[in-house]
């Protein structure tokens, strides 16, 4: 695309939305044309870029959205549903990082790939993409070792285990020729009995301002392998989402992966 990509952000006033806005100020690849917040949000009608009264203002929906190329969504299940409806109605591309969605919305997103270009990732960091590959390899190389996934996030996070922890679990389960549905143990309390052989356990930490930490622990007899990733600044997710949005603009309808972006952006 030779002109700037016309972009909308769904969830523009949130933590991730704010990280995107601060990067967009210096990014000539994009023109931000719409910024959506929750219905009834206190941000509605406020200038998106503080101190610039004439600039774009937060909108609490899509009815006034101008023509655009790509929507980036970091909102929540309800916000993602509305963004998806808008993209489907107008043939626009969608990049979404929203996690904690149910099976029905998951299925709608999967089938949307036949009519629009769509890219979802539970974690837009390059480091996590590599962690996922390493975990697949370790899960195969150490088949009898117990696997536990521990994640930590800030106290306002709404879903658990994190979308990234689940992606890691799915990757390891598939590498061991099983499914996460069959292998996952998401809580242990009371008389749990012995660890189930071949299970994948999850543990969740919530507190303070933790941006996002994931450790995959492979535990053998007398030794333990830990693969860990720690995000200290949420701009890494915003940078990854912008890279994905630029890559996705003008692409054919399909359900694209972050791996596709990484593979062709080198």
Return the active site residues.
153, 157
Is 259 in a helix, a strand, or coil?
helix
Q: What's the burial of 5, exposed, middle or buried (CB within 10 Å: 0-12/13-18/19+)? A: buried
Residues 108-137 that bind ligand NAP (CB under 6 A): 121-124
43 binds ligand NAP, rule: CB under 6 A = yes
Residue range at the interface with ligand NAP (CB under 6 A); choices 97-105, 170-178, 186-194, 257-265: 97-105
17 binds ligand NAP, rule: CB under 6 A = yes
Q: How far, in Å, are 74, 82, 95, 154, 254 from residue 36 at the CA level?
A: 10, 10, 14, 23, 24
Beta pairing, strands 70-73 & 93-96:
parallel
Residue range at the interface with ligand NAP (CB under 6 A); choices 38-46, 86-94, 198-206, 252-260: 38-46
* Least gap, CB of 253 to ligand NAP (angstroms): 21
Say how far apart CA 196 and CA 40 lie, in whole Å. 47
Tokens 């009264």 belong to: 53
Say how far apart CA 160 and CA 202 lie, in whole Å. 9
Query: Degrees (nearest 5) of the Cα angle 184, 187, 193?
Result: 90
35 binds ligand NAP, rule: CB under 6 A = no
Q: Choose which of 4, 100, 127, 253 interacts with ligand NAP (CB under 6 A).
A: 100
For ligand NAP, give the closer residue by CB, 41 or 178: 41
Residue range at the interface with ligand NAP (CB under 6 A); choices 96-104, 186-194, 216-224, 247-255: 96-104
User: Which helix (DSSP H) or strand (DSSP E) does residue 8 occupy?
Assistant: strand 5-10
38 binds ligand NAP, rule: CB under 6 A = yes
Residue range at the interface with ligand NAP (CB under 6 A); choices 13-21, 143-151, 181-189, 219-227: 13-21
User: Which helix (DSSP H) or strand (DSSP E) does residue 213 occupy?
Assistant: strand 212-219
For ligand NAP, give the closer residue by CB, 124 or 247: 124
Q: Choose which of 5, 13, 24, 170 interacts with ligand NAP (CB under 6 A).
A: 13
Query: Degrees (nearest 5) of the Cα angle 22, 100, 261?
Result: 55
For 65-120, where are the E strands, in sequence order? 70-73, 93-96, 117-120
* Least gap, CB of 143 to ligand NAP (angstroms): 30
* Least gap, CB of 79 to ligand NAP (angstroms): 3
Catalog residues that contact ligand NAP under the rule CB under 6 A: 10-17, 36-38, 41, 43, 74-76, 78-79, 82, 97-100, 121-124, 237
């Amino acid at each position: 695309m030779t002109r700037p990509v016309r972009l909308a952000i769904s969830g523009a006033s949130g933590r991730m939305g704010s990280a995107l806005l601060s990067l967009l100020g210096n990014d000539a690849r994009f023109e931000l044309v719409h910024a959506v917040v929750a219905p009834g949000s206190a941000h509605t009608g406020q200038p998106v870029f503080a101190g610039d009264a004439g600039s774009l203002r937060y909108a609490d929906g899509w009815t006034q959205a101008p023509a655009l190329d790509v929507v980036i969504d970091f909102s929540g299940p309800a916000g993602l549903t509305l963004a998806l409806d808008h993209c489907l109605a107008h043939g626009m591309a969608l990049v979404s990082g929203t996690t904690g969605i149910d099976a029905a919305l998951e299925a709608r997103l999967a089938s949307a790939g036949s009519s629009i270009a769509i890219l979802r990732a539970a974690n837009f960091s390059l480091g996590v993409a590599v962690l996922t590959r390493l975990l697949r390899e370790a899960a195969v190389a150490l088949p009898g070792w117990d696997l536990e996934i521990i994640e930590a996030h800030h106290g306002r996070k709404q879903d658990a285990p994190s979308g990234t922890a689940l992606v890691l679990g799915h990757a390891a389960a598939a590498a061991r020729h099983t499914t996460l549905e069959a292998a996952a143990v998401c809580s242990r309390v009371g008389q749990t009995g012995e660890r189930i052989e071949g299970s994948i356990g999850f543990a969740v930490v919530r507190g303070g301002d933790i941006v996002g930490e994931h450790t995959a622990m492979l535990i053998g007899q007398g030794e333990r392998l830990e693969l860990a990733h720690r995000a200290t600044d949420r701009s890494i997710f915003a940078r990854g989402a912008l890279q994905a949005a630029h890559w996705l603009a003008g692409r054919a309808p399909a359900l694209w992966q972050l791996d596709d972006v990484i593979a062709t952006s080198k």
